[in-house]
């Protein structure tokens, strides 16, 4: 009796060819497709998988789970990898892996499989998350299989194989870059993008308009937060309010994309030790990140913010590297969540071509004291106390320069 395999299937070139290869190896293959908000024609993908020979195709709508339990906590924690990447792909992987393992258990499948490259991060993310959730699961990773890698050197061989087996694919030799999309972002890599000197063509972008096509007038939004989590967005132009998390993100993606917000083109450090070039579009989350960061500075104690920023960077590494389910991530999540208990308030954002900025904010829990900081009244602040503060802080500086930078030495 053939062993069951649940294949994380995208309908794209790699996983379609992997499906055929697994069938040739004698496995009974069930395809799993996660609806995380990507613009995907699932009916076409299902038809393709069944035509290739899949036993069944299971589609799970996990958009709400992804937004509520991964994207929103990431905004609350302020996660950003290497100061630029908002982790759109990285956050989706534990969400998808959770559903993948549920299906594998339900089908009593011994194996799961995926199309992640042997040089990338996703293999680590999928597999560590899956092992955490189901320690007995076995994993077939074709891009680390000697026979598979000998047969397929890269995308050209896959395209030839697909053509031979009448597998329709969207990638072509002319535009062979790889994409990964969800409700949070779209990423682009490989092909001509592997050369960091190559400028990405304007028609590559799908979520955001080119700057030359964006409106020439500003757009204002009001974003509400409670304990660091977005709770409501008000469109100040039309007066419409969004309170459902998925609808908030969809709206911000739409308006942010209209203004060309959230594009980055970076060379990042992969967990396996390689540097890679990636292009990302993350319009809605970029707006939320900017608003949340401003409110944090408004509400948090200075030292708490600095300590929280350190933990944020560690957590961003854990997410990027695939350790969403780990003791260190559990501990850090709890610490970061604790830091957000006073991050309540409203932020007004202005959108312009290619960027957004905070122009106003309000919070009942802010540590900002207008009278104390005012240049017009003294308040309870005694300026003369600053003399001693400056003198004490200057002691070590004076001694250092006296010792090592004295002209007589």
Q: Residue 46's domain is classified under what CATH number?
A: 3.40.50.620
255 Cβ neighbours under 8 A, 6+ residues apart: 219, 221, 235, 283, 351
Dig out the tokens for 312 from the structure.
């944020």
The answer on 125 and 159 residing in a single domain is yes
Residue found under tokens 């993008």: 193
93, 155, 263, 277: which one is catalytic? 93
> Any catalytic annotation for residue 14?
yes
Closest CA to 180 of 91, 269, 47, 78: 91
10, 90, 122, 277: which one is catalytic? 122
The answer on 293 and 328 residing in a single domain is yes
Indicate whether 371 belongs to any domain.
no
Indicate whether 395 belongs to any domain.
no
φ and ψ at residue 401, rounded to 5 degrees: -75, -30
The answer on 166 and 61 residing in a single domain is yes
> Any catalytic annotation for residue 56?
no
**CATH number of the domain residue 304 falls in:** 3.90.1260.10
The answer on 246 and 134 residing in a single domain is no
> Any catalytic annotation for residue 155?
no
Indicate whether 390 belongs to any domain.
no
Indicate whether 392 belongs to any domain.
no
Q: What's the whole-model pTM score? A: 0.93
Single residue among 362, 377, 392 that ends a domain in this structure = 362
Q: Report the distance separating Cα 138 and Cα 131, nearest Å.
A: 9
Indicate whether 375 belongs to any domain.
no
Indicate whether 381 belongs to any domain.
no
332 Cβ neighbours under 8 A, 6+ residues apart: 311, 314, 315, 318
60, 65, 178, 235: which one is catalytic? 178
14, 180, 294, 317: which one is catalytic? 14
Per-residue pLDDT of the chain (409 residues; tens, 9 = 90+): 899 999 999 888 889 999 999 999 999 999 999 999 998 889 999 999 999 999 999 999 999 999 999 999 999 999 999 999 999 999 999 999 999 999 999 999 999 999 998 999 999 999 999 999 999 999 999 999 999 999 998 878 999 999 999 998 765 555 668 889 999 999 999 889 999 999 999 999 999 999 999 999 999 999 999 999 999 999 999 999 999 999 999 999 999 999 999 999 999 999 999 999 999 999 999 999 999 999 999 999 999 999 999 999 999 999 999 999 999 999 999 999 999 999 999 999 999 999 999 999 999 999 988 877 877 776 777 888 899 999 999 999 999 999 998 765 5
The answer on 235 and 122 residing in a single domain is no
Indicate whether 44 belongs to any domain.
yes
> Beta partners for 394?
none
Q: Can you give the residue range of the structural domain that contains 352?
A: 186-362
202 Cβ neighbours under 8 A, 6+ residues apart: 210
Q: Where are the beta strands (DSSP E) in 47-167?
A: 56-61, 111-113, 138-140
The answer on 116 and 76 residing in a single domain is yes
The answer on 153 and 86 residing in a single domain is yes
Burial of 179 (0-12, 13-18, 19+ CB in 10 A): middle
Domain count, the chain: 2
The answer on 322 and 231 residing in a single domain is yes
The answer on 234 and 110 residing in a single domain is no
The answer on 245 and 159 residing in a single domain is no
Single residue among 115, 142, 175 that ends a domain in this structure = 175
The answer on 211 and 153 residing in a single domain is no
Q: Report yes or no: 148 and 13 within 8 Å, Cβ to Cβ.
A: no
The answer on 218 and 127 residing in a single domain is no
Indicate whether 195 belongs to any domain.
yes
> Any catalytic annotation for residue 180?
no
Helix, strand, or coil here: 230?
A: strand
Single residue among 111, 143, 175 that ends a domain in this structure = 175
Q: Report yes or no: 347 and 223 within 8 Å, Cβ to Cβ.
A: yes
Where on the phi/psi map is residue 257: left (φ > 0), alpha (ψ -120 to 50), or beta? alpha
Closest CA to 113 of 154, 153, 143, 91: 143
Closest CA to 315 of 128, 121, 81, 92: 81
């Amino acid at each position: 009796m053939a062993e069951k395999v649940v294949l994380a299937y995208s309908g794209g070139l790699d996983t379609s060819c992997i499906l055929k290869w697994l069938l040739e190896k004698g496995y009974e293959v069930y395809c799993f497709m996660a609806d995380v908000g990507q613009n995907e024609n699932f009916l076409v993908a299902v038809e393709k998988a069944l035509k290739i020979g899949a036993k069944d195709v299971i589609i799970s709508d996990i958009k709400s789970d992804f937004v509520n339990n991964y994207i929103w906590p990431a905004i609350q924690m302020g996660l950003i990898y290497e100061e630029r990447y908002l982790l759109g792909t990285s956050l989706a992987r534990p969400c998808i892996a959770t559903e993948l393992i549920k299906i594998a258990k339900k089908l009593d499948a011994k194996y799961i499989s995926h199309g992640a490259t042997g040089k990338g991060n996703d293999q680590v993310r999928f597999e560590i998350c899956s092992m955490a959730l189901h320690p007995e699961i076995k994993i077939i990773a074709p891009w680390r299989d000697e026979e598979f890698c000998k047969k397929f050197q890269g995308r050209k061989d896959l395209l030839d194989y697909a053509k031979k087996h009448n597998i329709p694919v969207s990638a072509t030799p002319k535009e062979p870059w790889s994409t990964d999309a969800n409700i949070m972002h779209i990423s682009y890599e490989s092909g001509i993008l592997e050369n960091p000197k190559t400028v990405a063509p304007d028609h590559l972008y799908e979520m955001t308009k080119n700057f030359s096509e964006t409106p020439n007038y500003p757009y204002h939004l009001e974003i509400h937060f409670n304990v660091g989590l977005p709770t409501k967005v008000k469109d100040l132009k039309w007066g419409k309010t969004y309170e459902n998390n998925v609808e908030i993100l969809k709206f911000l993606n739409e308006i942010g994309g209209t203004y060309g917000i959230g594009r980055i083109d970076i060379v990042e450090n992969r967990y396996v030790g390689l540097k890679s070039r990636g292009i990302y579009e993350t319009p809605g989350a970029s707006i939320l990140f900017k608003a949340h960061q401003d409110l944090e500075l408004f509400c948090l104690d200075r030292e708490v913010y600095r300590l929280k920023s350190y933990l944020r960077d560690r957590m961003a590494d854990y997410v990027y590297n695939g350790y969403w389910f780990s003791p260190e991530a559990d501990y850090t999540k709890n610490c970061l969540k604790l830091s957000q208990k006073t991050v309540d308030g409203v932020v007004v954002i202005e959108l312009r071509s290619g960027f957004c900025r905070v122009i106003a904010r309000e919070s009942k829990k802010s540590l900002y004291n207008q009278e104390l900081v005012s240049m017009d009244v003294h308040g309870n602040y005694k300026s003369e106390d600053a003399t001693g503060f400056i003198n004490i802080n200057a002691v070590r500086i004076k001694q250092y320069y006296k010792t090592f930078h004295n002209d007589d030495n």
